Each structure stands twice: as structure tokens, then as C-alpha cells.
Amino acid sequence: MPIDRVHGTHESPEKKFKRTWKDRVPVNHSKEIAGMQNFEYDFLVFIGRFQPFHRGHLAVIEQGLRKARQMIVLCGSAHQPRSTRNPWSVSEREDMVRSALSKADNQRVHIAPLMDIVYNDEIWVRNVQSTVQGLVTAHHGMPHKSAKVGLIGHSKDHSSFYLKLFPQWGSVEVENVDGISATPVREAIFGVNQTDRRGGMHYLESSDADLALPAAVREKLAKFCLSEDYEEIKYEHDFIAKYKRAWSAAPYAPTFVTVDAVVVQSGHVLLVERKARPGKGLLALPGGFVDQNEKLLDACLRELREETRLKVPAPVLRGSIKAQQVFDDPHRSARGRTITHAFHIELEPSSELPKVKGGDDARQAMWVPLAELDPGKLYEDHYFIIQEMTGI
């Protein structure tokens, strides 16, 4: 039996291999090493918007990789147009996440888009379940054994209610790191002086950004600040900030009441292209603010005519109302708390759709097939309103 020169003992080659394995294998999180270690979970699921990805998010992933063989990161608010609340696309956010991880860790992290279903938690839960199941099926290395799946997230964050929506999975609760939040980061990037051509670069070069953002993410955001997309969001941010300042003297934060018309005929929905900010150039439902002396339905029909010039008699429109519903997601409008009352008007099928023309706040009006709706081109939560009221 060979003599171990370091320990001065006799040991077999097998025993020596086990003793020296940790010293001989580089310390990383590769799939090969993960397979040799004992983990509490096979997969941990982390759901977030990552607008942008910051050190708090990174800490969650790092802790997850210590507890699970692999991680699934679901990137929320997918397939939405750029806005002050959602400035970066899924691909840009995935790039941020991966830039902050080592090559070995990236091999254990799977990132997928997750679309918001604002007014139907059941459909959202189903989408999460199906996405996770697909990734587990594709990446679980032991098909003879069911994968142990868990959720990981901040337990004290109001947005982490999802930790309680999946009782079939385990749950790993983590503390927030230094109170880091994406909201003040976005405000620092887009809320700078409009005349400063360097935009959010000043913040990204500051010590505050260094504390909040991984270095690789700061580099990517710096490039973004030089793009046309940044300029467009910056203009939108400044418009909204000015709008809010006009209400700053109010004794209470205002709650706005609006109406929207979901007019459907022969599998088409009537939409307008917005002419002004916010949401300039996006498609939207005909609608607007309720005047002081109007009933909700009267306001809806008025806005419908002003924005689309729809030449359908008012009695016909009133008689075609199929449903009405309130939509009150607190984040549905960047301008502030805005509650809208939507009316579903279903006109009799016809081989020829009524002629429409944009007016008032609409650049143009058009009939769009329901099957061709693109959530990435629709204003605020209008895609989800149409989805909820028509069942598409």
C-alpha cells in the first residue's frame, strides 16, 4: 500500500481520491460538480421583472445555486412595449442576468419569459406551471426520479405573493439585500435633467450605482443610455413627471376615472393609434376621462365617437352592450391611480366592417383581428382588458 507523504499514513488510491477531491476540482458551480453534491432541491424557481437586474436579484440566484442543482429564472412583464416601468425587453434582461454570472453558473441557470396576466391569477399560475414543467422535463437528468422543485424569493415583498400560489412546490425565503429596489434605480437613470445629454450615465458612474448594480450590468445600461430607445423612454418619463407635478398641490393623491370601449365585430376589435403621450404610437382602446357631469356609459360612447368616428347609432351601441367591468390594477397607468370602466360592445356579424377614422386624441382608427393582437404594441393594460372581456 502506498505511503501518503503528506499525512504519513497508508491509504488506498480510492480513499486518497475522496480525500483530495475538493482540492483537485476547481471551485465552481458547473453541472458536473452539481451532480456530485447533495442539494435540497433539483430546481429552484425565481420569478421577477428585473427592471433592471440588481445585486439583490443576484444574491437570490447565488443563494439558489447553493441550494439547488439548477435554477429557473422567469422574467416577468414579457411581451410588453417599452415604458417607464418596463424599459428593457426580455432579451436585454436575460443578457443582464447572464453577464453577472460566471460561465459555470450560467450552465445551471435557465431563463424564460413570463407574460403578465393582470386580471386572471389562475391563468398566470397555469403559465408558470407549464413553463416550469417544460424546463424541468428538458433539463432533469434523472427521469426515473421526480424532480424536487421549489420557489425562491423575498418573503417580505408585497409582490412575492406568488410564493403562496404553488403549494405543490417547496419555498425558500430570502432577505432583501441592503434594501435594494429596482424602482429608485430606474428613477435615477431616467429622472435626470432633460438637458443633460449624458442622461443616466452620471448615476451609472456613481458609487450608488456601484452598490446597487453588478459591474457588467452597469456597462450594459451605459450602452443603453446612448440609444434611441433610452431617449424615447426619457421623454415619456419627463412627460409623466410634469403631469404628476400638476397634481402635486392636491390635498390627497388623485384617483382618476376613465372609460374604455371594447367594440367587437366579426372577430375584430376596434382600436386607435395614440397621437400624444403617454403611449404615443401605441394601439389602444377608444376611451378617455369622464367629464364631471357624465354617466360612465355616456362618457364611453362620447369618447368612442370622438376617437373613431364610428357611425353606428347610439341606440344600437347601447343595445349591443354585452358586459361591463372595472379594471383597477394599481400599476395600470404611469400617470397615477387610474380606474377604468370598460364596456364590451358586440355588434352583429357583418361581411363589411363599419368605416372608422381617427379623431381627437387618435392618429388613426382601425379594426384589428383578435388573433393578430400583439401585447407588445398595446397601450398600458389594454391587451389584458380585451383578453378578459372577450375570452381570447
Q: Say if 322 falls within a structural domain.
A: yes
Instruction: State residue 174 phi and psi, 5-degree precision.
Output: -125, 150
| Res 30: pLDDT | 52
pLDDT surpassing 60 at residue 375: yes
Q: Say if 28 falls within a structural domain.
A: no
168, 304: one domain: no
Q: Look at residues 224, 246, 278 and tell me which one is the last residue of a structural domain.
A: 224
287, 347: one domain: yes
Q: Say if 238 falls within a structural domain.
A: no
Question: How confident is residue 33, by pLDDT bands cut at 50, 70 and 90?
Answer: low
pLDDT surpassing 50 at residue 6: no
pLDDT surpassing 50 at residue 95: yes
Residues in the chain: 392
Q: Say if 25 falls within a structural domain.
A: no
Residue identified by cell 453558473 is: 105
Q: Look at residues 176, 209, 224 and tell me which one is the last residue of a structural domain.
A: 224
Q: Say if 207 falls within a structural domain.
A: yes
Q: What is the mean pLDDT of residues 57-86?
A: 97
Q: What percent of the chain has pLDDT over 70?
A: 87
- In sequence order, the β-bridge partners of residue 259 are 288, 341
64, 213: one domain: yes
217, 71: one domain: yes
Among 3-7, 151-155, 358-362, where is mean pLDDT lowest? Answer: 3-7
Cβ–Cβ under 8 Å, residues 297 and 343: yes
pLDDT digit string, tens, across residues 168-194: 999 998 888 888 999 999 999 998 765
Q: Say if 33 falls within a structural domain.
A: no
Q: How far apart (Å, rounded) are the C-alpha atoms in residues 101 and 99?
A: 6
First-to-last C-alpha distance (Å) of the chain: 74
267, 357: one domain: yes
75, 206: one domain: yes
Report how far Cα 284 is from the mean position of its chain's Cα atoms: 19
Using only C-alpha atoms, the chain has a radius of gyration, in whole angstroms, of 26
Nearest to 384 by CA among 392, 337, 334: 392
| Res 72: pLDDT | 98
Cβ–Cβ under 8 Å, residues 185 and 54: yes
78, 128: one domain: yes
Between 272 and 13, residue with greater pLDDT: 272
134, 278: one domain: no
Q: Give buried/exposed letters for 115-126 (b at 16+ CB in 10 A, else e).
A: bbbbbeeeebee
368, 281: one domain: yes
Question: How confident is residue 199, by pLDDT bands cut at 50, 70 and 90?
Answer: confident
Question: How confident is residue 265, by pLDDT bands cut at 50, 70 and 90?
Answer: very high
Q: What is the mean pLDDT of residues 72-87?
A: 96
149, 296: one domain: no
| Res 32: pLDDT | 53
Query: Residue 127: which residues within 8 A CB-CB, separation 6 or more?
Result: 114, 115, 117
pLDDT surpassing 50 at residue 35: yes
Q: Say if 4 falls within a structural domain.
A: no
Between 16 and 301, residue with greater pLDDT: 301
Question: How confident is residue 7, by pLDDT bands cut at 50, 70 and 90?
Answer: very low
**Mapped to the 3 state alphabet, what secondary structure does the chain carry?**
CCEECCCCEECCHHHHHHHHHHHHCCCCCCHHHHHHCCCCEEEEEEEECCCCCCHHHHHHHHHHHHHEEEEEEEECCCCCCCCCCCCCCHHHHHHHHHHCCCHHHHCCEEEEECCCCCCCHHHHHHHHHHHHHHHHHHHCCCCCCCCCEEEEEECCCHHHHHHHCCCCCEEEEECCCCCCCHHHHHHHHHCCCCCCCCCCHHHHCCHHHHHHCCHHHHHHHHHHCCCHHHHHHHHHHHHHHHHHHCCCCCCCCCCEEEEEEEEEECCEEEEEEECCCCCCCCEECCEEECCCCCCHHHHHHHHHHHHHCCCCCHHHHHHCEEEEEEECCCCCCCCCCEEEEEEEEECCCCCCCCCCCCCCCEEEEEEEEHHHCCHHHECCCHHHHHHHHHCC
pLDDT surpassing 80 at residue 160: no
Question: How confident is residue 34, by pLDDT bands cut at 50, 70 and 90?
Answer: low
Q: What is the mean pLDDT of residues 44-58?
A: 97
Mean pLDDT, rounded, of the chain = 89
Domain count along the chain: 2
Give me the torsion for CA of 197, 202, 205, 209, rounded to 10°. -130
Q: How far apart (Å, rounded) are the C-alpha atoms in residues 211 and 55?
A: 8
193, 263: one domain: no
Question: How confident is residue 2, by pLDDT bands cut at 50, 70 and 90?
Answer: very low
Question: How confident is residue 162, by pLDDT bands cut at 50, 70 and 90?
Answer: confident
Nearest to 392 by CA among 379, 373, 378: 373
**Residue 377: domain span:** 256-390
Q: What is the mean pLDDT of residues 328-348?
A: 96
Question: How confident is residue 86, by pLDDT bands cut at 50, 70 and 90?
Answer: very high
> Is the Cα dihedral 295, 317, 119, 83 positive or negative?
negative
pLDDT digit string, tens, across residues 121-152: 999 999 999 999 999 999 998 878 899 999 99
| Res 143: pLDDT | 75
- Here the cell at position 390 is 372577450
* CATH number for the domain harbouring residue 307: 3.90.79.10
Q: Look at residues 175, 203, 224 and tell me which one is the last residue of a structural domain.
A: 224
Q: How many CB atoms lie within 10 A of CB 42?
A: 20
164, 67: one domain: yes
Q: Say if 34 falls within a structural domain.
A: no
* CATH number for the domain harbouring residue 145: 3.40.50.620
pLDDT surpassing 90 at residue 16: no
